Amino acid sequence: MASRRPASADTGNNIRVVCRFRPQNAREIKEGGVNCVKIHEDGQTVSLESKDYPGTFTFDKIFDWNCTQKECFEYTALPIVGDVMRGYNGTIFAYGQTGSGKTYSMMGSDIDSEESKGVIPRIIEAIFTTIMDAPSTIEFTVKVS
Picking from 59, 66, 78, 71, the residue whose alpha carbon sits closest to that of residue 18 is 59
Yes or no: say if 94 and 102 are a contact pair by the CB < 8 Å rule: yes
What pairing do the DSSP bridges indicate for beta strands 37-39 and 45-48?
Answer: antiparallel
- At residue 78, φ and ψ (nearest 5 deg) are -60, -45
Sign of CA dihedral 79, 81, 83, 86: negative
Which comes out higher in pLDDT, residue 13 or 114? Answer: 114
HSE, side-chain direction, 13 A CA sphere, residue 92: 24
| 0.85 exceeded by pTM | no
Rounded mean pLDDT of 10-15?
A: 62
By the 10 Å C-beta count (0-12 exposed, 13-18 middle, 19+ buried), 138 is classed as exposed
Residue-level pLDDT at 1: 61
Task: Summarize pLDDT for 78-102 with one digit per residue, the tens.
Answer: 999 999 998 888 899 999 999 899 9
Structural domains of the chain in order of their starting residue, each with its CATH number = 2-133 (3.40.850.10)
User: In angstroms, rounded to a whole number, what is the distance separating the alpha carbons of residues 115 and 90?
Assistant: 25
Sign of CA dihedral 23, 26, 27, 32: positive
Task: Summarize pLDDT for 13-34 with one digit per residue, the tens.
Answer: 578 999 999 999 999 999 999 8
Yes or no: say if 11 and 27 are a contact pair by the CB < 8 Å rule: no
